[in-house]
Amino acid sequence: MNLPDLFDFCPRCGAKRAGSPANPFHCAACGHTQYFNPAVAVAAILLGPDKRVLLLRRAKDPGKGKFGLPGGFVDAGETAEEALQREIREEVNLEVDSLEFLCSRPNDYHYQGVTYPVLDLFFVARVSSTMETTALDGVESFLWLEAAEVDLNEMAFPSNAEALWRFIARR
């Protein structure tokens, strides 16, 4: 179910929605307009000193058991870069040496019966050592691979596969 479908009542005045779901939601009773903008997420094509890419096997849905890139949602008050550095620490215990913007891709995040629109921002990140890599929050396991060896069909999200493809194509 998409976000507009879930709004039967105005979040401001509580009036029942008139008409079918729409983006933006417009309340006929009080005039409130609610936009359903995408959430912002970040992810890294994280390279070790040997230039191999870090893939994470997801421990949770969505995409449980499939591969993902390290990353997650940007919290209020964070920059994309700060969020990505935090997520990498939380997921695999690594400190990033450098970040370079790669691309952005729209994504749908299906979670507990709701589809959230997301804008994924992808960066190429580098670490000087992989010795401390540890599977932590939401990570079942990890794998360092040559970028060209990654099976893009095994990625949990099409946006991750597209970003990896762009990274490989530009090399």
Residues 101 and 138 in one domain: yes
Report the domain count for the chain. Answer: 2
Query: Domain range for residue 22?
Result: 1-36
Domain with residue 91: its CATH number is 3.90.79.10
Residue 171 has pLDDT above 90, yes or no: no
b/e for 65-88, b at 16 or more Cβ within 10 A?
A: ebbbbbbbebeeebebbebbbebb
pLDDT at 165: 97
Mean local confidence (pLDDT), 12-19: 93
Taking only the tens place, the pLDDT of each residue in 141-152 is 999 999 999 999
Residue 98 has pLDDT above 80, yes or no: yes
Taking only the tens place, the pLDDT of each residue in 40-49 is 999 999 999 9
Residues 78 and 134 in one domain: yes
Residues 76 and 29 in one domain: no
pLDDT at 3: 87
Q: Is the pTM of this model over 0.75?
A: yes
